[in-house]
């Protein structure tokens, strides 16, 4: 078993998820590189929403909040999404309008509203990351600014997700965001009923906030459709052959099934090679138990076993060699 089917014929959206330290970033980076090299005429973007990203470290190249072309490979780009920066942009664009709706619609104390609108909404950083990707997918992301700049779009988006807890939040996000939107909508209608008593300026602010609600609604709908579309999306689980790895995989498979996110591939990383000293053979015997458990527990998943490497996996050269192990 290998990742060949996935990397030879990659969908639009590939996600790599699992608990911290199992090799998500390495797998995402090596897979993106393998895809770019197998499909040199395609545009491939690998990105991360991890608040503590290590994609730049993995490629050995500086990355930022916008796609950067990787040197040494054609048409491969990478980006570390900075949720704080995205939230700041969002605040600048809509912050005051939403704050106004909250204040005038609810008659809350200013301090209460501020708290509500501290934008400390669970999952907001992830939705900002996904919104950014949706903008790329829909050709709305410009070369730096909205007007004039040429639109950038990619054939393949490879997401190196934040550790499991965050990932699950991200996947549940459309639901979370829907609740938030409904709440704002209710306030907005309440406000609308009174709007005649207010000035034109306030009405314009309501219109502006409406734009925001509409925009977010569209994003939620598209994210949901995207995440559930087996023709466009595939979530690859990365784990290790240990008890915690099996338990974590069980939870993740259940969650993905409930959320109807297509998941067919499981990578079992850091497996000790068979041919080593007796100490390592003993380690491998332990892992064999869990390899079997993973095979038995998830017969429907196409499982790829990746051996522990003697060296770290960093830089284009090593990622390229490493990617061959996925094939
Ligand atoms: N099969 C492997 N053999 C040796 N080192 C590995 C292997 N897979 C990953 N690594 C190394 O382990 C560390 C953690 O991997 P990483 O991909 O950053 O994990 P995650 O993104 O899941 O936290 C990195 O230094 C990486 O180079
Ligand atoms: Mg990582």
Residues 93-109 have pLDDT tens digits of: 766 666 666 555 555 55
Is the pLDDT at 287 greater than 80, yes or no? yes
> pLDDT band for position 206 (50/70/90)?
low
What pLDDT, on the 0 to 100 scale, is given for residue 200?
55
Ligand nearest to the CA of 26: 1
Any idea of the CA torsion for 180, 141, 76, 127, to the nearest 10 degrees? -10
Is the pLDDT at 51 greater than 80, yes or no? yes
Q: Spot the catalytic one: 50, 82, 97, 125.
A: 50
What pLDDT, on the 0 to 100 scale, is given for residue 83?
80
Q: Yes or no: say if 97 and 205 are a contact pair by the CB < 8 Å rule.
A: yes
Is the pLDDT at 303 greater than 50, yes or no? yes
> pLDDT band for position 135 (50/70/90)?
confident
Of 12-16, 61-65, 177-181, the range with the lowest mean pLDDT is 177-181
> How would you classify the pairing of strands 13-17 and 233-240?
parallel
Mutate to test the pocket of ligand 1, among 24, 26, 311 (most ligand atoms within 8 A of CB): 26
CA 317 – CA 138 distance, rounded (Å): 33
Q: What's the whole-number average pLDDT of the chain?
A: 82
**Ligand 1 atom having least distance to the Cα of 269:** 1
Which residues neighbour ligand 2 (ion) by CB within 5 Å? 24-25, 54
């Amino acid at each position: 078993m290998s990742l060949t089917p996935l990397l030879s014929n990659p969908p639009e959206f590939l996600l790599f998820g699992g608990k911290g330290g199992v090799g998500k970033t390495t797998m995402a980076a090596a897979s993106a590189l393998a895809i770019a090299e197998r499909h040199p005429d395609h545009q491939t973007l690998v990105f991360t929403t991890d608040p503590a990203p290590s994609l730049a470290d993995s490629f050995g190249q500086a990355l930022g909040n916008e796609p950067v072309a990787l040197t040494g490979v054609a048409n491969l780009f990478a980006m570390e999404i900075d949720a704080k920066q995205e939230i700041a942009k969002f605040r600048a664009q809509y912050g005051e309008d939403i704050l106004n709706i909250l204040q005038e619609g609810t008659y809350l104390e200013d301090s209460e509203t501020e708290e509500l609108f501290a934008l400390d909404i669970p999952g907001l950083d992830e939705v900002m990351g996904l919104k950014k990707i949706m903008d790329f997918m829909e050709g709305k992301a410009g070369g730096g600014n909205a007007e004039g700049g040429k639109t950038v779009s990619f054939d393949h988006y490879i997401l190196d997700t934040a550790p499991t807890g965050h990932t699950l939040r991200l996947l549940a996000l459309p639901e979370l965001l829907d609740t938030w939107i409904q709440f704002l909508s209710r306030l907005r209608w309440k406000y609308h009923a009174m709007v005649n008593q207010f000035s034109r300026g306030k009405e314009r602010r309501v219109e502006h906030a409406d734009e925001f609600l509409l925009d977010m609604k569209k994003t939620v709908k598209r994210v949901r459709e995207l995440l559930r579309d087996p023709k466009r999306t595939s979530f690859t689980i990365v784990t290790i052959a240990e008890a915690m790895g099996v338990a974590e995989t069980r939870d993740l498979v259940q969650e993905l099934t409930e959320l109807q996110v297509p998941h067919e591939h499981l990578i079992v990383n850091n497996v000790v090679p068979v041919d080593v000293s007796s100490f390592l053979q003993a380690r491998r015997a332990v892992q064999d138990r869990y390899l079997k458990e993973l095979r038995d527990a998830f017969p429907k998943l196409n499982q790829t076993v990746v051996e522990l490497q003697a060296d770290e996996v960093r830089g284009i050269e090593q990622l390229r060699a490493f990617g061959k192990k996925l094939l």
